[in-house]
């Protein structure tokens, strides 16, 4: 699924090459694909329509900058808009309240409320050094209370006992009272879920909300729920002033379109993503990354940005001019190139951002070997004198031995580097001034 979209988009990107701006006609096909992708990712139809209209408005008539093609520029716009819709930046949990800060967990049964309650407890203990109490108001399922007890223990938090014969409101009040007396920083309240929206359930959680005055009311929703998530979200939004969303089961194979729908319907920020059944499987939600996932194309846009941002354009141009003017490409320039590669964040970080099917081509070991290789080369050139770097031809046996010793490598490795440099020099001459950017493109392709 994901790869199909990636392929379609890259084909369209290719077709749009050579056009200088984004126009009504060249944008049409691309948006059609994106629309399909969003629907396939289970984003609700009205949300999709709205989104496509916004992208179109932003894109039309836009000049295409630098080395990007209109297709690439459009992918960038789509990606950005997707991330912005899901909430730019990171929204952290709010604990700004007279302690204990109460966090109310809401959602359907099976959404992952109990699991998330414990995960959140652990996160607040480990990362924020908080003293955390949990309590379950799910009096309809005795197993749910026991489950919270077990996972709370795993999280290293304290659990406040409750029994099925109590009223949820009484339990919550008692827990709050206990938390105050024992100086807890945070009280996490797990609530009863139903299999579907139910009025009595909504009333109950509204009462809990009124009595507890929580600083956070988190709506927990299963990312695999797809289209249904919209109706659930709408019902909870009407019943409660939601302050945040937790999307669970993001490790599943859904493309996570629920994120876009739920965010649009509730207007609340997505704060966390559940990524495993384990107690530490909760991550702060990253809208940028998730936008890539929905489009099924990895972080390809971030990749484009990283490549262009990491490269020092002034340096690259100087280099290009040098080659053009026939001044020659020396080891100083070679070193500069190696450093540019490093600035780009290392090869494996670049590979991380590529869609999986592309990244799969280069194995992990290949990458770490390549990175080590870059560092060793840098070491060798750094052991040379400036004169040697400018005039590599003076490097004969004695100098080679000295350089090898300085860099802590064998002489053969110095030889190999010099050979590689010569090949690169020859190539640079052939390219006559295309320089670094051309090379980068070669590396990228
Ligand atoms: P509740 O009824 O809303 O309290 O839901 P639970 O916390 O009992 O979770 C229901 C099921 O989903 C359990 O089997 C959990 O282990 C599982 N679950 C919850 N969150 C995640 C998640 O992020 N990833 C995965 N893979 N499973 C999850």
Residues 167 and 212 in one domain: yes
State yes or no: pLDDT of 145 exceeds 90: yes
Spatial neighbors of 125 by CB under 8 A, at least 6 apart, are 131, 132, 155, 156, 157
Residue to substitute in 106, 107, 111, 112 for testing ligand 1 pocket (most ligand atoms within 8 angstroms of CB):
112
Determine the average pLDDT of the residues in 222-230: 82
Binding site annotation covers 398?
A: no
CATH value at residue 150: 3.40.50.300
Local confidence band at 213 (pLDDT 50, 70, 90 cut-offs):
very high
Prior bond of 100 cis (ω within 30°): yes
Interval between CA 222 and ligand 1 midpoint (Å) = 8
Minimum CA distance residue for ligand 1 atom 13: 112
Q: How far apart are the C-alpha atoms of 354 and 357, rounded to whole Å?
A: 8
Residues 310 and 220 in one domain: no
> In this structure, are residues 9 and 76 in contact, taking their beta carbons and an 8 Å threshold?
no
Q: How far apart are the C-alpha atoms of 290 and 34, rounded to whole Å?
A: 15
State yes or no: pLDDT of 360 exceeds 70: no
Q: Do the domain assignments include residue 294?
A: no
Residues 182 and 319 in one domain: no
Our answer on whether the CB atom of 377 is closer than 6 Å to any ligand 1 atom is no
Question: What are the residue ranges of helices labelled H in 267-385?
Answer: 287-295, 300-310, 313-324, 331-343, 347-353, 356-359, 364-382
Q: How far apart are the C-alpha atoms of 273 and 254, rounded to whole Å?
A: 13
Q: Tell which of 289, 317, 333 closes a domain.
A: 289
Q: How far apart are the C-alpha atoms of 444 and 435, rounded to whole Å?
A: 14
284, β-bridge pairs: 272
Counting atoms of ligand 1 from 1, which one is nearest the CA of 275? 23
Determine the average pLDDT of the residues in 324-332: 68
Determine the average pLDDT of the residues in 277-295: 85
Spatial neighbors of 56 by CB under 8 A, at least 6 apart, are 27, 31
Binding site annotation covers 83?
A: no
Q: Do the domain assignments include residue 417?
A: yes
Our answer on whether the CB atom of 119 is closer than 6 Å to any ligand 1 atom is no
Residues 122 and 79 in one domain: no
Local confidence band at 361 (pLDDT 50, 70, 90 cut-offs):
very low
Q: How far apart are the C-alpha atoms of 205 and 241, rounded to whole Å?
A: 11
Q: What percentage of residues in the chain have a pLDDT greater than 90?
A: 37
Residues 68 and 120 in one domain: no
> In this structure, are residues 400 and 414 in contact, taking their beta carbons and an 8 Å threshold?
yes
Interval between CA 297 and ligand 1 midpoint (Å) = 27
Range of the domain at 211: 101-289
Higher confidence at residue 16 or residue 218?
218
CATH value at residue 432: 1.10.260.30
Our answer on whether the CB atom of 273 is closer than 6 Å to any ligand 1 atom is no
Mean residue pLDDT across the chain: 79
Counting atoms of ligand 1 from 1, which one is nearest the CA of 108? 3
Q: How far is CA 439 from CA 297, 307, 353, 435, in A?
A: 24, 12, 20, 6
Q: Do the domain assignments include residue 158?
A: yes
Domain total of the chain: 3
Q: Do the domain assignments include residue 95?
A: no
State yes or no: pLDDT of 97 exceeds 80: yes
Determine the average pLDDT of the residues in 61-70: 60
Residues 116 and 230 in one domain: yes
Binding site annotation covers 248?
A: yes
Tell me what pLDDT residue 141 has: 84
Helix (H, G, I), strand (E, B) or coil at 383: coil
Q: Which of 33, 12, 15, 19 is nearest to 70 (CA)?
A: 19
Residues 357 and 269 in one domain: no
Q: Do the domain assignments include residue 142?
A: yes
Residues 227 and 318 in one domain: no
Question: What are the residue ranges of helices labelled H in 93-141?
Answer: 113-128
Q: Do the domain assignments include residue 91?
A: no
Binding site annotation covers 194?
A: yes
Local confidence band at 1 (pLDDT 50, 70, 90 cut-offs):
very low
Q: Do the domain assignments include residue 113?
A: yes
Residues 38 and 185 in one domain: no
Residues 79 and 105 in one domain: no
Residues 365 and 312 in one domain: yes
CATH value at residue 72: 1.20.120.140
State yes or no: pLDDT of 349 exceeds 70: no
Tell me what pLDDT residue 86 has: 84
pLDDT digits (tens, 9 = 90+) for 27-48: 787 788 778 877 877 788 888 8
pLDDT digits (tens, 9 = 90+) for 242-271: 999 999 998 876 667 788 888 888 989 999
Tell me what pLDDT residue 16 has: 59
Residue to substitute in 105, 115, 220 for testing ligand 1 pocket (most ligand atoms within 8 angstroms of CB):
115
Binding site annotation covers 134?
A: no
pLDDT digits (tens, 9 = 90+) for 377-417: 888 998 999 899 988 999 999 999 999 998 899 999 999 99
Residues 7 and 148 in one domain: no
């Amino acid at each position: 699924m994901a790869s199909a979209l990636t392929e379609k988009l890259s084909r369209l990107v290719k077709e749009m090459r050579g056009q200088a701006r984004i126009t009504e006609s060249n944008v049409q096909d691309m948006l059609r694909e994106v629309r399909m992708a969003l629907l396939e990712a289970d984003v609700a139809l009205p949300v999709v329509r709205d989104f496509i209209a916004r992208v179109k408005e932003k894109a039309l008539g836009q000049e295409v900058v630098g080395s990007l093609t209109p297709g690439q520029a459009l992918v960038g716009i789509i990606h950005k808009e997707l991330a912005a819709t899901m909430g730019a930046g990171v929204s952290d949990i709010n604990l700004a309240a007279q302690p204990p800060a109460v966090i109310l967990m809401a959602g359907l049964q099976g959404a992952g409320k109990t699991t998330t309650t414990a995960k959140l407890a652990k996160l607040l203990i480990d990362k924020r050094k908080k003293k955390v109490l949990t309590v379950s108001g799910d009096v309809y399922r005795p197993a749910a209370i026991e489950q919270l007890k077990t996972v709370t223990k795993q999280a290293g938090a304290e659990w406040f006992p409750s029994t099925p014969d109590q009223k949820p409101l009484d339990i919550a009040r008692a827990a709050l009272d206990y938390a105050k007396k024992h100086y807890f920083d945070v009280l996490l309240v797990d609530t009863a879920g139903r299999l579907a929206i139910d009025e009595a359930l909504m009333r109950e959680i509204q009462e809990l909300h009124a009595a507890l005055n929580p600083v956070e009311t988190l709506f927990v929703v299963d990312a695999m729920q797809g289209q249904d998530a919209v109706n659930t979200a709408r019902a909870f939004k009407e019943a409660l002033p939601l302050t945040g969303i937790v999307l669970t089961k993001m490790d599943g194979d859904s493309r996570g379109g629920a994120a876009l729908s739920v965010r649009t319907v509730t207007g609340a920020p997505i704060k966390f993503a559940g990524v495993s059944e384990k107690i530490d499987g909760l991550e702060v939600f990253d809208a940028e990354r998730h936008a890539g996932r929905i489009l099924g194309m990895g972080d390809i846009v971030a990749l484009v940005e990283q490549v262009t941002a990491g490269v020092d354009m002034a340096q690259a141009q100087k280099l290009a001019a040098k080659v053009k003017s026939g001044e020659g490409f020396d080891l100083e320039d070679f070193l500069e190139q190696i450093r540019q590669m490093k600035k780009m964040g290392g090869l494996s970080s670049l590979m991380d951002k590529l869609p999986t099917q592309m990244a799969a081509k280069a194995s992990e070991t290949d990458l770490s070997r390549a990175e080590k290789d870059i560092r060793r080369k840098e070491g060798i050139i750094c052991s040379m004198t400036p004169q040697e770097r400018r005039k590599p031809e003076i490097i004969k046996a004695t100098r080679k031995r000295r350089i090898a010793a300085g860099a802590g490598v064998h002489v053969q490795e110095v030889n190999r580097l010099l050979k590689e440099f010569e090949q690169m020099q020859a190539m640079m001459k052939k390219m006559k001034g295309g320089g670094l950017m051309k090379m980068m493109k070669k590396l990228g392709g």
